[in-house]
Structures are given as C-alpha cells and as structure tokens.
Amino acid sequence: MDFKDNRQIVLLGGGGEKFVIRPGQGMKQVSGLGVVDTDRFSAVRPGSTTTIAGKNFVLLDASLLDILGCMRRGAQIILPKDSAHIILGCCIGPGNSVLEVGTGSGGLTLVLAHAVGDSGRIVSYESNPKHAKVARANIELGGTAARVELREADAGTCTESGVYDAAVIDMPEPWTILDAITEALKPGSYVCAYLPTMNQAERVIKAMRERDYSETHVLENIQRELVVGDGGTRPSFDMLGHTGYLCFGRKVRV
C-alpha cells in the first residue's frame, strides 16, 4: 500500500524531528524544512526512506499525535491528556454531532473530528479572527475539513435546538452562554467546560446545577513521564502539571 490516496504522511527524522505533509500537492513550503516537492511521495510506501536537504527521513502515515505535534500554534491547545478524557467523559463517538465553543488553534477540534468519524459533525465557534485563521489551516492539515463547520462568531448567537450529542466549552466565562448551549443539546447529552482556575470551575458547576444538570463533577489530570535509562528509571524533571479543570455535567431535561 502506498500514499496515493493523498493522506497525510509524516517525515520522521533520526533525532525525533517530525514534519507532516500531504502528498500530491506540488511544491510546498514546510516550516523548518524548506520547500518540498510533495508529488515525489505520492507513489511511495509507508516505511520508505528519503533524503531532504541532507537529512534522512522515514515516511509513515501521519497519526493524530503526529498532526497535533506539528500543527501551528496560536492560542494554547488542550493537550492530549485532557482531550482524551473529554472524549470519554462526554461519550463522544462515531456519528455524533458535537458543539465546540472556542476553537483556538484547533487542537481539540481535530481530536473531536477524529472521534466522530466520517459520519459525524463538529460545529465550532471562534470569535477571534486570528485564531480562526490558524484553526482553518490546522483543520486542513488534519484532513478533517469535511467534518468540521467553523463558525467565526460568538457562540451566544447559536439558535439551534436539540441537535447536538455533546458540547465542549473552552472560554473564560462559559456560564454566560450556558442557556444557549443547553438549548442546543439533546436530552442526555454531556457538556465539558475546560477552565484554568478553581473559581471558574465552581461557578460553572453551580450554573449547571441551577439548570438541573446531573452528574456534575470536576477533575484534573496530572501526568508524569518516566525516563527509562540503561542505569535506572526515574520520573522526568519536566512534569506536566496543571493545565486546566475539566468540568462535566449532563443535560437531563427537554
């Protein structure tokens, strides 16, 4: 099997460097690598090797983690340790329609689009034009543009009713739009608000309870990598500590 279907591929260097491209797109500027003729990779097989600018690379199908690691950053993205739990905590799966508030750079958008598959849909609101521009490019890079509708607007303008299976909110004051979000959700759907401080987490949970949400709770994911060496194994000095609080609730009424 080769790359002829124009899926994204990753060029993996010996030192761990990665570059994600799409074959068959002609001459493209690749940040950190220069101008690359992507057509040359259209008929090669995964596991093949190539040399660019004197550097050797292995060519592989790009994973979601490859794409997230290589995507352009504007606003800070929700990291995999949190986005993976959001998927499970909101019961997001193939065929679901998901409402996202605060696209940012599009990191979580790509994860959501990956989870819902070709039969699903992501509607994402982003009111900052600069963030929206970066997100559009990253959504294209991820190959998920057909699944994502990016609305450059305030989510408070959403007037849909009972159409979404889940909602994820990444904005400083989610309680201000919770009425619109609640109306847009189907009964039984989950909401997750991603917030940096305990005060914000407390306020949004209270707002959910005022609207008769069930299963309200807050959690924080702390991740610590272990460094495995020939002489011993120890925790990494660069621990990934607090990133944000995941605030969950479930709409139970029509």
- Say what the pLDDT of residue 98 is: 98
Backbone torsions φ then ψ of 185, nearest 5 degrees: -90, 150
> What pLDDT sits at residue 204?
98
Residue 168: predicted pLDDT: 98
SS3 category, 220 = coil
Backbone angles phi, psi at 215, to 5 degrees: 55, 35
Q: Do 107 and 68 touch, CB atoms closer than 8 A?
A: yes
* pLDDT, position 44: 83
Q: What is the pLDDT of residue 108?
A: 97
Question: From CA 210, how far away is CA 207, in angstroms rounded?
Answer: 5
List, run by run, the mean pLDDT of 10-residue segments along the chain (254 residues). 69 90 86 86 88 89 92 86 96 98 96 97 97 94 94 95 98 97 98 98 98 97 90 86 94 90
Q: At what angle do helices 107-116 and 129-141 cross, to 10 degrees?
A: 40
Pairing of strands 97-101, 121-125: parallel
User: What's residue 2's pLDDT?
Assistant: 58
CATH numbers and ranges of domains, the chain: 9-62 (3.10.330), 69-250 (3.40.50.150)
- Distance CA(15)–CA(248), nearest Å, equals 40
